[in-house]
Chain A
Amino acid sequence: MNQGNPSRDGTPGGRWLLGLLLVVAVAYPLLVSSNYAVDVGMFILFTAFLGQSWNIAGGFAGQMSFGHTMFFGMGAYCSAILVVTYGINPWVAWALAIGVGACLGAAVGFLSFRFGLRGSYFALITLAFAEMFRVLADSAAITRGGLGILVPVRQGFDQLQFVDGRTFYYIALGLCLAGLGIAGWLKRSRFGARLEAIRENEDAARALGIHVLKEKIKCLALSGAIGAAGGSFYVQKYLYIDPHLAFSVARSVEMLLVTMIGGAGTVFGPLVGATVLGLLGELTRSLSDAQGLSLVIYGVVLIFIIAFLPNGLISLLQRRSRKAGGRNA
């Protein structure tokens, strides 16, 4: 009896490759000399983590949202407000922000799914929620409106601010690994199996005893928590947040892009997508200073993926491993 095809779990190439990648990732900041390169690496890992947030809702459960930045933004603002206005310790604020993200996810999930929204309607309502938060952030006193919130520089571990970009890199690596862990857990757990069933066929899932509404809400809560965790980290790294950075469509799109391009519903999809897009971005930036070129390319890649590789770039690796290893059918 086949104990489970490894490529189905999204671990192309097996354990050796993973181990190698981990070693490379850990060693990376020590191997490169420029701070910029470390920052690029950090940003890729961070984007992969944010992508996991989208992946859980859009990839595993098939609920494609166009407003996922709302979780990122909520987490970011929570952290910023708690730290700056209320003087709460950044680590504690981080934890609280994650809780708020989860609650927001549950609330959005409840509203949307309780009222039966699916497909494009769900995508659009999440877009509307994100826009609503943007306007609120832009006008409220607590968020300092369009000025945004500036986090005072106070370096030190207990203040979650570091001089050395490499520390942030390692935190981002930790986050990315946590994201991979969560996705991996989903692949092996009953909860994840139920989400996938819901994605594939809601009615059949229901007929088999799955409480679809409850699972979807849980899914969105988890997704929201991860997004908020990312937002919180962002604020500590860049020490600034404003309504545009927090709630713009661009970030929602980014979270979606890396996952769809890498491979939605897989463990490593967001990481693959973030790496490919990150490197592509750097490449185009070296070719031209003008803004927008890299995104044009991302758009083309997205369409290409939908047209020819709907399971994402990671399916290329899966195909190769399937041919090599064969299947016990």
Chain B
Amino acid sequence: MLEVVELSKRFGGLYAVNQASIQVGQGQIVALIGPNGAGKTTLFATIAGFLQPDGGRVVLNGRDITGMPVHEICALGMVRTFQITQPFSRLTVAENIMVGVYQHTSSRREARRLAWEIAEYVGMGHLFDLPSTELTVAGRKRLELARALGTRPQLLLLDEVMAGLNPTEMAEIIGIIRGVRDRGVTILLIEHVMQAVMSLAEHVYVLSEGKLIAQGPPAAVTRDPAVIEAYLGKNAAQLLGGDVHA
């Protein structure tokens, strides 16, 4: 579904993303992990059109979308959420979700009805008319997800959805994400929380200092010495004896 070919993004002289190549197949849940500052969000932003790449291509469903405006990419079925949630503050939960839903309908009644369904699906039905400023962190994360779902995406880019959630909230969101995939949405997610990566992802890419240093099933990747070194420092793999459980 998504093919990122040798994508690069430069800020001044520094390559935040250096020739990264990623494939995400239809219906998969793929994770992008890496230490802080590795360039994960920059990669997301470049894929989704918020930043113009300095090299490489992004292909969505066989169509080259490199450098396309963000709203057009959304129309083609790829939507991203933000690491720091960006709710429409003065709007209610309902109105927030409706903005996403309006992508496919122009009727307010219809939009509200569809928004209600989505809200119920992510467990926010009881908060439907609440001003979004009154949501908790977990609520805002769900809202971010709900809003994106409103656009009926084929590919959903989730940026650190788990950050700031307690274990219960995390388990709930994991369930929701799995459910979303089961309904036919492909998911590419950035995550720091290993538990979520292990339980959700079928395939993992590891980014470090802008470069992809490993990819594969989660269990294999987390044992990869190069990955361990990226997170814990040089020689950490040796020190830890090479066989590490996540």
Contacts and interface: CB of A to CB of B under 8 A. Distances in A.
Contacts of A305: none
B116 A1 contact: yes
A285 interface: no
B102 A190 contact: yes
Interface in A187-211: 188-190, 193-194, 196-197, 199-201, 203-211
Contacts of B81: 207
Nearest to B50: A203
A288 interface: no
B48 A207 contact: yes
Nearest to A215: B71
A196 B150 CA distance: 17
Contacts of B95: 193, 196
Interface centre among B74, B79, B106, B148, by most chain A C-beta atoms within 10 angstroms, is B74
Contacts of A200: 87-91
B206 to A, nearest CB: 26
A204 B108 CA distance: 20
Nearest to A311: B90
Interface in B21-77: 48, 50, 69-71, 74-75
Nearest to A203: B86
Contacts of A265: 90
A183 B4 CA distance: 44
B127 interface: yes
Given A208-B147, A209-B74, A329-B127, A196 B91 contact: yes
Nearest to B120: A1
Given A193-B99, A209-B71, A327 B129 contact: yes
Nearest to B106: A190
Contacts of A119: none
Interface centre among B87, B90, B99, by most chain A C-beta atoms within 10 angstroms, is B99
Given A1-B116, A193-B95, A200-B90, A208 B100 contact: yes
Nearest to B128: A2
B91 A197 contact: yes
Contacts of A210: 71, 99
Contacts of A1: 116, 128
A8 interface: yes
A84 interface: no
B74 A208 contact: yes
Query: Which 8 pairs from chain A and chain B are nearest by CB?
Result: A209-B74, A200-B88, A204-B86, A209-B103, A206-B70, A197-B99, A190-B102, A190-B106
5 contacts: A190-B106, A190-B111, A196-B95, A206-B70, A208-B148
Given A193-B95, A204-B147, A209-B75, 15 more contacts: A4-B112, A5-B92, A8-B129, A190-B108, A193-B98, A197-B99, A203-B82, A206-B71, A208-B79, A208-B99, A209-B71, A210-B99, A327-B129, A328-B129, A329-B126
